[in-house]
């Protein structure tokens, strides 16, 4: 991947509304300076501006797309990019860790500040040095505007993130504290435990095979293994291209707590009621609209929700 005659070679999308960028508005100027005249920086403030930028990147034939924001920003940007590019492959993606949650970047070994990461990328790109990359699929939740990302979850996963974003500023330390509080709350049947562990009634179909209706703490799926705090429920995803690794927790809350060690160590879970599958398409049917998250971004779906494997993308790594 060497620089050619096309301009811009590297495009950067920065999210002016991310917490980190709101705290330090100078970051955009720093990125523009690092990028220089042979690149282009976009700061869209709404979806229409983002889609316009994605179409402009496609028309210019950019070589690399860098995203300054967290997991939620990457999800929104990649959704717009797939919409703009259609069936054409996306350019390699550099995640600059510019958000509160940088789970996907951390999981593939990307560390550093946005300016430092972009600086290293620009230097290697213009020197014609090879850029390391890993390949992962996106997952897709079809709809009027199909949504693309790397991690999907409802039930407990979405409830945990709701608690994570509430109140004080989100951080890895806050996430660990909520987890510790939840385990302690479980011992006394406390309010936090009950709120997080609200079960949902679902019918699940995986690649055309229907499961019996059941009550689930959550159903999650990923095309990357790490879901945060180094917990890796989707450990099969990196080694099985063109599939999502889905895990349905139809077990008791205490059985799930007992499996946290296996999930953290990326080992198979062994409790009855936990089903782990590789799938190309999963359909969830509930008796009410199903709230869910993609990459930390919340959505409210219909009573029938589909998760399917999406296009394969290249993610740049140091």
For residue 42, give the CATH number of its domain.
3.40.50.10330
Mean pLDDT of the chain: 90
Question: Which residue is listed with tokens 């690092």?
Answer: 34
Of 131, 165, 189, which residue is a domain's last?
A: 131
In the chain, DSSP assigns E strands to: 10-14, 39-42, 64-68, 93-95, 133-141, 147-149, 151-153, 200-206, 209-210, 214-216, 218-222, 244-249, 274-279, 281-286, 291-294, 297-300, 304-316
Q: How would residue 1 be classed by pLDDT, with cut points 50, 70 and 90?
A: very low
What is the arithmetic mean of pLDDT over 34-54?
91
The span from the CA of 263 to the CA of 279, in Å, is 19
Is position 138 within any domain? no
Q: Tell whether 80 and 186 lie within a shared domain.
A: no
Question: Which residue is listed with tokens 């967290």?
Answer: 70
The span from the CA of 66 to the CA of 10, in Å, is 7
Q: Tell whether 216 and 120 lie within a shared domain.
A: no
Record the tokens describing residue 61, joined without a space: 């034939």
Residue 97's SS3 state is: coil
Question: Which residue is listed with tokens 């290293």?
Answer: 120
Per-residue confidence (pLDDT) for residue 5, from 0 to 100: 41
Segment 284-301, tens digit of pLDDT? 999 999 989 999 888 887
Is position 246 within any domain? yes
The span from the CA of 231 to the CA of 29, in Å, is 35
Segment 50-62, tens digit of pLDDT? 999 999 999 999 9
Closest CA to 9 of 43, 52, 39: 39
Is position 139 within any domain? no
Q: Tell whether 36 and 105 lie within a shared domain.
A: yes
Record the tokens describing residue 158, joined without a space: 């979405």
Is position 144 within any domain? no
Q: Tell whether 158 and 281 lie within a shared domain.
A: yes
The span from the CA of 81 to the CA of 310, in Å, is 13
Per-residue confidence (pLDDT) for residue 100, from 0 to 100: 79
Is position 137 within any domain? no
Record the tokens describing residue 11, joined without a space: 């495009």
Per-residue confidence (pLDDT) for residue 187, from 0 to 100: 78
Is position 58 within any domain? yes
Record the tokens describing residue 85, joined without a space: 């590019």
pTM listed for this prediction = 0.90
Question: Which residue is listed with tokens 């398409």?
Answer: 281
Given CA atoms 230, 233, 239, 245 in this order, what sign does their dihedral have?
Answer: negative
Q: Tell whether 294 and 184 lie within a shared domain.
A: yes
Q: Tell whether 169 and 82 lie within a shared domain.
A: no
Segment 201-250, tens digit of pLDDT? 999 999 999 999 999 999 999 999 999 888 999 999 999 999 999 999 99
Asked whether the predicted pLDDT for residue 3 surpasses 60, the reply is: no
More confident site: 256 or 5: 256
Residues 75, 81, 86: CA angle, nearest 5 degrees:
125
What is the arithmetic mean of pLDDT over 102-125?
94
Record the tokens describing residue 284, joined without a space: 């969830």
Q: Tell whether 117 and 229 lie within a shared domain.
A: no
Is position 226 within any domain? yes
Helix, strand, coil content of the chain in percent (nearest 5): 35, 30, 35
Q: Tell whether 97 and 230 lie within a shared domain.
A: no
The 3-state secondary structure of 91-111, one letter per residue:
CCEEECCCCCCCHHHHHCCCC
More confident site: 23 or 5: 23
Segment 12-37, tens digit of pLDDT? 999 877 777 777 777 888 898 899 87
Asked whether the predicted pLDDT for residue 8 surpasses 70, the reply is: no
Of 103, 131, 159, which residue is a domain's last?
A: 131
Residues 276, 280, 282: CA angle, nearest 5 degrees:
65
- Which domain covers residue 41, as residue numbers? 10-131
Closest CA to 181 of 194, 165, 170: 194
For residue 208, give the CATH number of its domain.
2.60.200.40
Q: Tell whether 87 and 45 lie within a shared domain.
A: yes
Outline where 108-206 has alpha helix (H). 114-126, 156-165, 172-188, 191-196
Domain count, the chain: 2
Of 2-11, 146-155, 161-170, 271-280, where does mean pLDDT reach its minimum?
2-11
Say if CB 178 and CB 160 are below 8 A apart: yes
Is position 146 within any domain? no
Q: Tell whether 307 and 254 lie within a shared domain.
A: yes
Asked whether the predicted pLDDT for residue 6 surpasses 70, the reply is: no
Of 102, 131, 160, which residue is a domain's last?
A: 131
Q: Tell whether 162 and 82 lie within a shared domain.
A: no
Say if CB 40 and CB 12 are below 8 A apart: yes
Q: Tell whether 174 and 49 lie within a shared domain.
A: no
Asked whether the predicted pLDDT for residue 133 surpasses 80, the reply is: yes
């Amino acid at each position: 991947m060497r620089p050619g005659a096309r301009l811009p070679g590297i495009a950067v999308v920065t999210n002016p509304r991310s917490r980190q960028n709101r705290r330090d508005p100078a970051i955009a100027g720093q990125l523009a300076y690092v990028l220089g005249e042979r690149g282009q920086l976009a700061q869209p403030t709404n979806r229409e501006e983002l889609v316009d930028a994605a179409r402009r990147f496609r028309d210019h034939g950019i070589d690399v797309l860098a995203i300054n924001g967290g997991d939620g920003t990457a999800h929104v940007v990649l959704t717009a990019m797939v919409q703009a590019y259609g069936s054409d492959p996306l350019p390699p993606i550099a995640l600059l860790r510019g958000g509160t949650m940088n789970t996907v970047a951390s999981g593939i070994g990307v560390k550093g500040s946005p300016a430092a990461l972009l600086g290293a990328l620009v230097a290697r790109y213009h020197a014609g040095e090879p850029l390391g990359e890993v390949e992962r699929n996106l997952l897709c939740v079809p709809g009027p505007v199909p949504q693309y990302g790397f991690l999907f979850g409802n039930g407990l996963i979405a409830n945990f993130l709701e608690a994570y974003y509430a109140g004080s500023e989100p951080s890895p330390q806050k996430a660990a504290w909520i987890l510790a509080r939840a385990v302690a709350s479980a011992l006394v049947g406390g309010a936090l435990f009950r709120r997080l562990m609200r079960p949902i009634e679902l019918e699940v179909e995986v690649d055309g095979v229907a499961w019996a209706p059941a009550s689930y703490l959550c159903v999650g799926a990923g095309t990357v293994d790490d879901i945060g705090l180094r917990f890796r429920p989707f450990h099969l995803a990196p080694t099985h291209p063109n599939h999502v690794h889905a895990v349905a927790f139809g077990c008791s809350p205490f059985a799930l707590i007992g499996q946290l060690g296996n999930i953290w160590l990326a080992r198979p879970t062994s409790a009855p009621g936990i089903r782990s599958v590789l799938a190309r398409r999963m359909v969830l049917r509930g008796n009410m609209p199903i709230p869910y998250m993609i990459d930390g971004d919340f959505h409210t779906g219909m009573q029938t929700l589909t998760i399917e494997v999406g296009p394969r993308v290249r993610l740049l790594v140091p």
